[in-house]
Chain A
Amino acid sequence: MNFDFSDDQKQLRDQARKFLTEKCSPKAVRVVLDGKAPYDKELWKGLAEMGFLGVAIPEEFGGAGAGHLELCVIAEEMGRANAPVPFSSTVYLAAEALLIAGSDAQKKKWLPAIASGEAIGTLALFEGNGNPSPKAIKLTAANGVLNGVKKPVADGAIADFAVVAARTGSGGRDSDISLFLVDLKAGGVEVKSLTNLDPTRGQAEITFRDCKAEPLGAAGEGWSILTQVLDRAAVLCAFEQVGGSDRALEMGRDYALDRIAFGRQIGSFQAVKHMLADMYVSATLARSNSYYGAWALSTNAAELPEAAAAARISATQAFQHCAKNNIQVHGGMGFTWEFDCHMYYRRANAMALGLGSLTYWEDQLIDRMRKKNAA
């Protein structure tokens, strides 16, 4: 047993951290936060050049072919830096869907474009309703055209293509859902940006009107593919959340050491110390659950569904906990736009909803644990 990343993977982490510290300062994040750009194009290009966008994409499709553990390491750093780029939608959702279900031609078309930073992708799943469920999907697919509205779609306004979940049967069963690939720059698509909790990663409403689409994976397999995509993304997002938690904790710790009140460093007050200790505890539990998820993801273990749900819940809670208490440690300063605390608070709460809420994942976890116990 060796429950840790390898030296090479840790080196990759250092490299990613160094790169992001330089290219993704809080000042750079604020350009997007303040609405001056929809995402950081320079950073996106840089990430492609570093090979980070295609780190888990096989070499034959233009990637680095390193693997998912390497992607986890980079995800953590993306979360730490609060990177304002469509990384999760493109790399965790769109690319993973292609890797799982894409035809050779589809992979050849889109994966190299993702790895090189030329194509931004996303997953169009939700239709206003909060949680992933076959019943909630109303958008229809018939004779190769889609009709319906998706919202919210993460990074939908800047995406070049989308994996779209559509209804191909009339019931609420899993087998009534199929997936499609849509070139969003082609006709029949109308995109509207939505304001959202975290402007550093946009959300959109996409209307499909007799929009041409090609199937991704077999008809009726959509839900089963989606479940796999969401599980993988849950682990990868968990690493972003762990990175964010750590950064929020670090910011709080540093401020507690610098700020003086009543003639003392506020970090010497036990209420503040204990608040930071509790942040450390939740970040640590989340990290450990995420490591287990990373192992399951990278080995495609039978434990993945359960491990993914546990990582998702734990990391979501930790990031929310650390982000909110980071503001508390900072006092009034923490509640100003000028301080960076709210960027992590926004990201933590937006991420908590992106793949379905905590409630949804709690349900998933218990179902999966029951199944395992029954087996």
Chain B
Amino acid sequence: MNFDDTPQEAEFRAIARAWIGANAPKQYEEDLRKSSLGRTVLRNGNILEVAKAWQKKKADAGWACLHWPKEYGGRGSSPIERVIWQQEEGPFGQLSRMFIIGHGMCGPTMMAFAREEHKRTYLPPLASGEKVWCQLFSEPAGGSDVAGLRTRAEKDGDDWVINGQKIWTSGAHYSDYGILLTRTDPTVPKHKGLTMFFLDMKSTGVEVRPIKQASGASDFNEVYFTNVRIPDHQRLGEVGDGWNVSLTTLMNERSAIGAAVSTGFPELFEYCSSLMLDDGPAIEDRAVRSKLANWAVKASGLKYTSMRAISALSKGERPGPENSIGKLVAGSMIQDVATYALDLQGARGVISGEDAELAGRFQAMLLRAPGTRVEGGTDEIMRNIIAERVLGLPGDIRVDKDVPFNKIPTKGRS
């Protein structure tokens, strides 16, 4: 057991550190450091532009998507090097959040299922942030039950014609491409009739309508498809095999290893270290300490769990379903942490935005947190995955399993 860098790792770290020191957009460092989940505000910059510029700079110097093969715009790095990079990148890594869906899910899916020529064309500009991608899976009728989706794809010559609607699509309003899961055969059971594609979001017939979220922000969208044509060579995987293809995506989504999950704990600890309560410093209050200690061990537990996963990965083991625990633990934790921080603020905690304490950092966290527990699989789905795939418990009873999709009831109460 060893936490020290090997000589090669130390060398890699030194090179990364020097490059970041010389190139990072330092003018935004303070803003990025103070931002936390739910709130990344750059005082003098547009976040998307700043993020794209930083990503491009990294790509040009060979620091983008480190673990991807070089021919697809990566660096061919080991998992450990990727982690070292993230540690050194520090707050500037927040800018990569803009690309998380493209880099974390669309890229790996393309790598596994696209034609070689497409990989060489589309992956490098995805890695460099010049092109942004989104994931068009969820629909009003199919979120947790992804396979319940209804968007139709029908073959017409060498093309497929798409009609239907997606929802909650993050970043669709500034995306250039997307991966799209469709139904190609409604007469077979739901998992068997799906097919995956990638498409140009600027195609005729694609309409993106931003949705205002519960948090007040508008990061996700509704996307409508009206007779959108996709050439067959943009199909990912076999016709009818879309479910398996999407599992690759979802597996990658859940095991975005090394991507430090935000728990809100460092922010809360920092806050309590300076906060004065009526009877003295918060950090000396018995109740506050107990809360902090409980969250501290969750945060460190997650950190070291991901280090164990990285160690396994670097020995050639595959990331497994056990990585579902990161989002499961962090999601509700960040919500509780934010609630508690506001409780410490008392009545003034109700004020949000710039007028609030710490410019509304915890208020923003509170309002964003419910989404974290839903996106990328709800807490309940995460628990199912752990129970079924890690502990080997029986799957849920599925009453629609062998029923043709077009015979499945669509409403709970009529």
Which residues of chain A have a CB within 8 Å of any CB of chain B? 1-6, 69, 249, 253, 256-257, 264-265, 267-268, 270, 272-274, 276-278, 280-281, 284-289, 291-292, 294-295, 298, 309-310, 313-314, 317, 359, 361-363, 365-366, 369-370, 373
Beyond contacts A1-B5, A249-B391, A289-B304: 11 other A-B pairs, Cβ-Cβ < 8 A, are A2-B2, A3-B307, A6-B1, A273-B388, A274-B384, A280-B387, A281-B329, A285-B302, A365-B293, A369-B269, A373-B269
Give every chain A residue within 8 A of B325 (Cβ-Cβ): 280-281, 284-285
Give every chain A residue within 8 A of B2 (Cβ-Cβ): 1-3, 295
Given contacts A273-B383, A281-B386, contact A3 B397 (CB under 8 A): no
B29, CB-defined interface residue at 8 Å = no
Decide: B328 and A69 in contact? CB cutoff 8 A. no
B218, CB-defined interface residue at 8 Å = no
Give every chain A residue within 8 A of B393 (Cβ-Cβ): 253, 256-257, 267-268, 272-273, 276
Bound Cα distance A365, B391 (Å)? 32
Query: Top 7 A-B pairs ranked by shortest CB distance?
Result: A285-B301, A362-B293, A288-B304, A273-B387, A268-B394, A277-B383, A277-B386
Among B80, B301, B384, point to the contact of A286 (Cβ < 8 A): B301
Q: Can you list 25 contacts pairing A with B, beta carbon distance less than 8 Å?
A: A1-B3, A1-B5, A1-B307, A1-B310, A3-B311, A253-B393, A264-B394, A265-B394, A267-B394, A270-B384, A273-B384, A276-B391, A277-B387, A277-B391, A285-B329, A288-B302, A288-B304, A291-B1, A295-B2, A313-B297, A314-B301, A362-B290, A363-B289, A365-B296, A373-B273
Decide: B387 and A288 in contact? CB cutoff 8 A. no
Residue of A nearest to B390 (CB): A280
Decide: B387 and A274 in contact? CB cutoff 8 A. yes
Bound Cα distance A1, B258 (Å)? 13
Decide: A274 and B310 in contact? CB cutoff 8 A. no
Bound Cα distance A37, B300 (Å)? 41
Residue of B nearest to A290 (CB): B304
Give every chain A residue within 8 A of B294 (Cβ-Cβ): 313, 317, 362
Given contacts A277-B386, A280-B391, A291-B1, contact A270 B396 (CB under 8 A): yes
Decide: A289 and B300 in contact? CB cutoff 8 A. yes
Give every chain A residue within 8 A of B304 (Cβ-Cβ): 3, 288-289, 291-292
Task: Give the distance to chain A from B321, nearest Cβ to Cβ, in Å.
Answer: 11
Question: A-side binding surface: helix, strand, loop or mixed?
Answer: helix
Among A1, A256, A361, point to the contact of B311 (Cβ < 8 A): A1
B117, CB-defined interface residue at 8 Å = no
Decide: B386 and A1 in contact? CB cutoff 8 A. no
Bound Cα distance A122, B123 (Å)? 63
Which residues of chain B have a CB within 8 Å of any CB of chain A? 1-6, 9, 80, 83, 269, 273, 283, 289-290, 292-294, 296-298, 300-305, 307-308, 310-312, 314-315, 322, 325, 328-329, 380, 382-384, 386-388, 390-397
Among A4, A69, A249, A257, point to the contact of B308 (Cβ < 8 A): A4
Give every chain B residue within 8 A of A317 (Cβ-Cβ): 294, 297
Bound Cα distance A363, B394 (Å)? 42
Task: Give the distance to chain A from B112, nearest Cβ to Cβ, in Å.
Answer: 28
Give every chain A residue within 8 A of B386 (Cβ-Cβ): 277, 280-281
Bound Cα distance A209, B1 (Å)? 47
Residue of B nearest to A278 (CB): B383
Task: Give the distance to chain B from A13, nearest Cβ to Cβ, in Å.
Answer: 13
Give every chain B residue within 8 A of A256 (Cβ-Cβ): 393
Bound Cα distance A7, B159 (Å)? 54
Decide: B391 and A253 in contact? CB cutoff 8 A. yes
Among A1, A274, A280, A314, point to the contact of B4 (Cβ < 8 A): A1
Give every chain A residue within 8 A of B392 (Cβ-Cβ): 253, 257
Bound Cα distance A265, B394 (Å)? 8
Give every chain A residue within 8 A of B298 (Cβ-Cβ): 285, 314
Bound Cα distance A280, B392 (Å)? 12
Task: Give the distance to chain A from B140, nearest Cβ to Cβ, in Å.
Answer: 24
Task: Give the distance to chain A from B378, nearest Cβ to Cβ, in Å.
Answer: 12
Residue of B nearest to A4 (CB): B311
Decide: B283 and A366 in contact? CB cutoff 8 A. yes
Given contacts A285-B329, A289-B304, contact A310 B3 (CB under 8 A): no
Bound Cα distance A361, B294 (Å)? 10
Give every chain A residue within 8 A of B303 (Cβ-Cβ): 288
Bound Cα distance A314, B307 (Å)? 17
Give every chain B residue within 8 A of A287 (Cβ-Cβ): 305
Task: Give the distance to chain A from B127, nearest Cβ to Cβ, in Å.
Answer: 25
Task: Give the distance to chain A from B82, nearest Cβ to Cβ, in Å.
Answer: 12
Given contacts A3-B3, A314-B301, contact A359 B290 (CB under 8 A): yes
Bound Cα distance A264, B395 (Å)? 12
Task: Give the distance to chain A from B230, nearest Cβ to Cβ, in Å.
Answer: 38
Given contacts A256-B393, A369-B269, contact A5 B1 (CB under 8 A): yes
Give every chain B residue within 8 A of A288 (Cβ-Cβ): 300-305, 307-308
Give every chain B residue within 8 A of A285 (Cβ-Cβ): 297-298, 301-302, 305, 325, 329
Which residue among B302, B314, B328, B387 has the maximum number of chain A CB atoms within 10 Å of its CB?
A: B387
Give every chain B residue within 8 A of A2 (Cβ-Cβ): 1-2, 311, 314
Decide: B290 and A3 in contact? CB cutoff 8 A. no
Residue of A nearest to B290 (CB): A362
Give every chain B residue within 8 A of A253 (Cβ-Cβ): 391-393
Give every chain A residue within 8 A of B293 (Cβ-Cβ): 309, 313, 361-363, 365-366
Residue of B nearest to A286 (CB): B301
Given contacts A3-B310, A366-B289, contact A289 B1 (CB under 8 A): no
Give every chain A residue within 8 A of B296 (Cβ-Cβ): 310, 365-366, 369
Bound Cα distance A257, B325 (Å)? 22
Give every chain B residue within 8 A of A278 (Cβ-Cβ): 383
Decide: B297 and A1 in contact? CB cutoff 8 A. no
Bound Cα distance A359, B291 (Å)? 11
Residue of A nearest to B2 (CB): A2
Task: Give the distance to chain A from B56, nearest Cβ to Cβ, in Å.
Answer: 30
Which residue among B293, B315, B384 has the maximum number of chain A CB atoms within 10 Å of its CB?
A: B293
Bound Cα distance A296, B300 (Å)? 14
Bound Cα distance A277, B289 (Å)? 28
Residue of B nearest to A373 (CB): B273
Decide: B297 and A314 in contact? CB cutoff 8 A. yes
Bound Cα distance A278, B383 (Å)? 7
Task: Give the distance to chain A from B191, nearest Cβ to Cβ, in Å.
Answer: 19
Bound Cα distance A3, B303 (Å)? 12
Task: Give the distance to chain B from A97, nearest Cβ to Cβ, in Å.
Answer: 24
Decide: B383 and A362 in contact? CB cutoff 8 A. no
